Chains A and B, each alone.
Chain A
């Protein structure tokens, strides 16, 4: 791509304004999915076009951008998106969570608590939490308007009667500020508690489905559950084999064809930071 032919951060100013207006509405009505006229981006739908459009609309020359996919800065799609903004906006990029002002993510929330004035941009494939219970947009919109979420509770409760627990492991629905039920994107439910009263602003972009939504800092974000079956997150009976963390989300890595496996942090920045701290402690 010849960058002279494109505007700063790729999008034209009219498109940015339209996206920015949608973001402001999303912030004013937390958890509500604001329709926006998503553009065709130079990357396929389903590969983060919503997140990319949101990032392009907020990004400025002084920002420091981090892009992760599956918690890692090195996965191909994260590399491609980071390269896209390096090329079209010339912004500084980083792999360190604490140094980033804008973090675009697919499927994870960093382990390190985010700070005020950071912005977390989620790539969202299906923004409608009720979509798999009711495929029609006209119907789900009515349900949100009436705060009618019985269908969702019935679905979760059916899990309990069948399995003894709720069988939703990712994209686990949350209720925002006591009103809208929202899809947190396909992050594992392990990450849901991090959304609750997060100090950073959370923005969600669904390009193909043409929706933007938001959670302002310090907002109540509650995972749906039942009094007798409270929400719980994934736990591992072993620590990360690289950094020893017991409180992070672990990837299972198959080492051979005889069932040998190892477990390591999915958040590579978190893991590396812990390893280097341990190295310093040993040597210093």
Chain B
């Protein structure tokens, strides 16, 4: 802890208003699934965290929210310090104990079922997954329907192929149980709450 640089201590410049603006963008992303939103990001973001993921953590996490960091992130002192110092959020005992999970940095995409799905009586006790999409390859286009979408919204996300869309579509199988996903691409985000129906063309 003693070696912590001043840069790590910097979260938002103006916590009250920066987090309010970020929250509105995150809320809009989940209220309108598939719609891309841009976040203001902090001056300092520890590698390899996406700036948008850093903003989400600063905006939503505190000592009441156990956070699961994917292995490669948990191994980075800078990421742990950033999270701990700025939010006070404890590291979750495992993905199923996490209020928030940060993933997508291992070179693969996580299995959503490893996270907390909530319970039938308290479906809100589920994990929100902050999933980094780094792949520049254009992904498979899908149609999204459901709350937040006037009719159908066609979307594609970098690196999400046919197979992983099927995995995500399956997240709705036990609705209202399931996880909510916020994809991060640099400083941009796209929301995919569990209420969204995913129609996979040719699937």
On whether the two chains bind one another, the answer is yes
Q: Which listed residue, B16, B121, B126, touches A13 by the CB 8 Å rule?
A: B16
Q: Which listed residue, A29, A146, A197, touches B124 by the CB 8 Å rule?
A: A29
Please state if B148 and A24 are interface contacts (CB–CB under 8 Å). no
Please state if B65 and A21 are interface contacts (CB–CB under 8 Å). yes
Please state if B27 and A27 are interface contacts (CB–CB under 8 Å). yes
Q: Which residue of B lies closest to A179 (CB)?
A: B176
Q: Which residue of B lies closest to A140 (CB)?
A: B121
Count contacts on A: residues with CB < 8 A to the other chain.
45
Chain B residues near A216 (CB, 8 Å)? 30-32, 147-148, 195
Main secondary structure on A side of the interface with B: mixed
**Least Cβ distance of B82 to chain A in Å?**
17
**Least Cβ distance of A209 to chain B in Å?**
15
Chain B residues near A7 (CB, 8 Å)? 16
Which among A21, A28, A30, A216 has the greatest number of chain B C-beta atoms within 10 A? Answer: A28
Q: Which listed residue, A14, A16, A22, A29, touches B195 by the CB 8 Å rule?
A: A29
Chain B residues near A23 (CB, 8 Å)? 27
Chain B residues near A167 (CB, 8 Å)? none
Q: Which listed residue, A8, A146, A217, touches B148 by the CB 8 Å rule?
A: A217
A141 in the interface, Cβ–Cβ < 8 Å? yes
Q: Which residue of B lies closest to A101 (CB)?
A: B24
**Least Cβ distance of A266 to chain B in Å?**
28
A17 in the interface, Cβ–Cβ < 8 Å? yes
**Least Cβ distance of A165 to chain B in Å?**
31
| Bound complex: CA A34 to CA B128 (Å) | 15
**Least Cβ distance of B186 to chain A in Å?**
21
B146 in the interface, Cβ–Cβ < 8 Å? yes
A201 in the interface, Cβ–Cβ < 8 Å? yes
B21 in the interface, Cβ–Cβ < 8 Å? yes
Q: What are 19 A-B pairs with beta-carbon distances under 8 A? A: A8-B17, A8-B20, A17-B19, A20-B59, A21-B65, A22-B124, A24-B128, A28-B194, A29-B194, A35-B122, A58-B23, A60-B20, A177-B147, A215-B147, A216-B32, A216-B147, A217-B147, A218-B149, A218-B150
